Structure 1
Amino acid sequence: MTSQQPQRFGDLEPSVWPGERLGLPEQGTGSVGRIGRRFLAIFIDWTSALLLASLFARGAEASWLTLLIFAVLQIVFIPTIGGSVGHRLCGLRVVPIAGGWVGPWRPILRTLLLCLVIPVLVWDSDQRGFHDKIAGTVLIRG
């Protein structure tokens, strides 16, 4: 008798649609946020951080200040309004896979990894970046 269940992590079948393995709908509210919305959201967040930093610094200092402001905005707004300003303007929310409130530690960990850039570029078939996988979160339409 053969089993249809995967035996190892690498044996997992890819999702038919992003979020299928997570129990999320294919489209609409609660579905995984798609790439276009994600790019627009991060553009909004980075631009707002850049504008704020430019009020206080120039040159290399502004670059580091932009990154710091970007991180602070992520860490403050994800647990309070459900996502960054860019996320919310694009109709997205960051939620924990386990359900409930995202809490303070998930946004901190997620943001630290997001600021490293590389984890964001590594995705699975559910379109979750490595930063979301490690933090136990998913970016959904909402």
Structure 2
Amino acid sequence: MDNREVVGSWLSGPRATAEQMGVEFGYRGERLGLPEDGPGSVASIGRRVAAIFVDWVLCVVIAYGLIAHRDVHSANNWALAVFGVVSLIGLALVGGTPGKMIFRLRVIGLDGRRLSPLAAVIRTVLLLLVIPALVWDRDTRGLHDKAAKAVQVRI
């Protein structure tokens, strides 16, 4: 085995290396009984990042315009609180936030139903801590989704 092959396997990651060795992981969401693509499939990371960006910008604008009265530093602090409220209310009532709705995403329980209020609180609190949202499983569900027994799907 030459050095380029070793470096290539390191750069492509353990999943790619395992797949080259013949290990079959299946598609994202297969273990959850979700379709591979189309409505009901696990939402892509790109859509989820774009949705959270839209939600964050919306919350900063709300905090800046309505709460912080033109104080930028205070607006950034309030934006996190507004983000938590928007996320909690959106998840509990309609299964998503404004950004998720724009990108046609929804957060559902593993049973296919809307999240319970308790699950919405758990997911929101862990999302606000940021780190749990950055640790994913092979279905690209963050720890905040796993704790709430939730998954983000396309609609």
Q: What is the TM-score of this pair, normalised by structure 1?
A: 0.86
Q: Is 2:64–2:72's contact at 8 Å kept on the other side of the alignment?
A: no
Q: 1:115 aligns with which of 128, 131, 152?
A: 128
Structure-2 residue corresponding to 1:31: 41
Structure-1 residue corresponding to 2:20: none
Q: 1:52 aligns with which of 53, 56, 62?
A: 62
CA offset digits 1:19-64 (Å, max 9, x no partner)? 0100001100000000110011000100000000111212432222
Identity %: 43
Q: Is 1:75–1:108's contact at 8 Å kept on the other side of the alignment?
A: yes
Unaligned regions of 5+ residues in structure 1, if any? 1-12
Report the residue type matching 2:47 in the other structure.
Answer: R
Report the number of matched residues.
Answer: 130
- 132-141 vs 94-103, greater mean Cα deviation: 94-103
Shift of residue 14, structure 1, vs aligned partner? 7.4
Structure-1 residue corresponding to 2:137: 124
Q: 2:100 aligns with which of 59, 82, 87?
A: 87
The ranges of structure 1 where at least 4 consecutive aligned residues each deviate by more than 2 angstroms after the TM superposition are 98-101
Q: What is the TM-score of this pair, normalised by structure 2?
A: 0.79
| 2:50 is aligned with 1:40 | yes
Which structure would you say has the larger RCO, counting Cα contacts within 8 Å and 6 or more residues apart?
1
Q: C-alpha separation between the residues in 2 aligned to 1:14 and 1:125?
A: 12
Structure-1 residue corresponding to 2:16: none
Q: Is 1:82–1:88's contact at 8 Å kept on the other side of the alignment?
A: no
Q: C-alpha separation between the residues in 1 aligned to 2:145 and 2:26?
A: 20
CA offset digits 1:105-130 (Å, max 9, x no partner)? 11111010001110011000001001
User: Aligned Cα RMSD in Å?
Assistant: 1.4
Q: Secondary structure at the match of 1:45?
A: helix
Unaligned regions of 5+ residues in structure 2, if any? 1-22
